Amino acid sequence: MPLVEGQPLRILHATRAPVGGIFRHILDLANGQADRGHHVGIIADSLTGGERAEQALAEIAPRLKLGVHRVAIRREPWPSDALVWAYFLRLVRRLKPDVLHGHGAKAGAFIRSKTASSDTIRLYTPHGGSLHYPRTTIKGMLYSRLERALMNATDLFLFESAFARDTYQRTIGVPKGLVRCVFNGVTADEFDPVVKAADATDLVYVGEFRHIKGADLLIDAVARLRADGRPVTLTLAGDGEESANLKAQVQRLGLGEAVRFIGHVKARYGFSKGSLLVVPSRGDSMPYVVIEAAAAGIPMVAANVGGIPEIFDTHTDALFAPNIAAAMADAIESALEDPAAAQERARSLRERIFLHFSQKAMVEGVLAGYRDAFANR
């Protein structure tokens, strides 16, 4: 039995796509666990992530005693999943991890499909994933059944928000295994202030270009504000599957001079390109961009969805109804009309992040969950 005082754990993190907040979360966890002397490894899809994922994994690889492993993992259920699972099982037999930590629905399924062992605990962090699909859709019904089938093959559920925990228990069921909530966290240097760029626009969006992230709603809100006589400007920092659609939308609405695309950039550089960050998500669990911006003291408004209210706490005046461009436009206008109030809210949020959303607290909370799961076995 591991977890003898001073004995390092062998921890294998698994994810499908090495992109976005999930990937950031895994890298931060892996670094923090390696700092504490544990032997860590990562397995991830080889089809996604591109050059950025390759660079990030190459940087962390020397610190990971269980190595970095890439294999082609399709997003949807696929015949090749059987081969991926066989590869995964061979890797587990060779590495002999004490902890199998699956992140996201697909990797979580591989982790929990392994036969139970008295020497290994199986963990699952959904990160939203299959929970975003409505139960009334075919995919939603399929994924909820798969989640329910795997639910009690899980020693520990680690949710990054109370929203994700409550959504899982409401739509899937209450697990027999342990359930813990550990907030995502940011590093100490992310509390340094960001200097606004000379060419900053009124608004900025930083994140992936996916339907669920709502960048199209933000463009509609900008069009509405400009039609009402407020000539706001917007920077869109990111890329993704919706890039072409968003650029076409900007041209269709005649916003070519008001909206610019700067591609994927580091979050803090993106924050510098606007006076007000807007988070227009249709759905989210515990988005890193909100925590990062709050740590840096960036004024922002965000959709009242998922775990975002858990970050904002009492600052509900900065939240707007999701999936409604008019509500977003009203929130943006209020923030721009009273920049002093927006800045004071940003200062207060920064203090809250410092107390409750640090990388150190996240790593320690996850390791405490591991210890509880071993004790429960």
Domains of the chain: 10-185+358-376 (3.40.50.2000), 189-356 (3.40.50.2000)
**Percentage, residues of the chain above pLDDT 90:** 87
Condensed to tens digits (0 to 9), the pLDDT of residues 153-180 reads: 999 999 999 999 999 999 999 999 899 9
Torsional sign, CA 78, 158, 153, 135: negative
| CA 310 vs CA 74, 90, 258, 306: distances in Å | 32, 40, 33, 9
Residue 2 confidence (pLDDT) above 60: no
Residue 250 confidence (pLDDT) above 80: yes
**Residues ≥6 apart with Cβ < 8 Å to 161:** 181, 183, 285, 286, 306, 307, 310
Residue 3 confidence (pLDDT) above 70: no
Residue 238 contacts residue 271 (beta carbons within 8 Å)? no
Condensed to tens digits (0 to 9), the pLDDT of residues 298-335 reads: 999 999 999 999 999 999 999 999 999 999 999 999 99
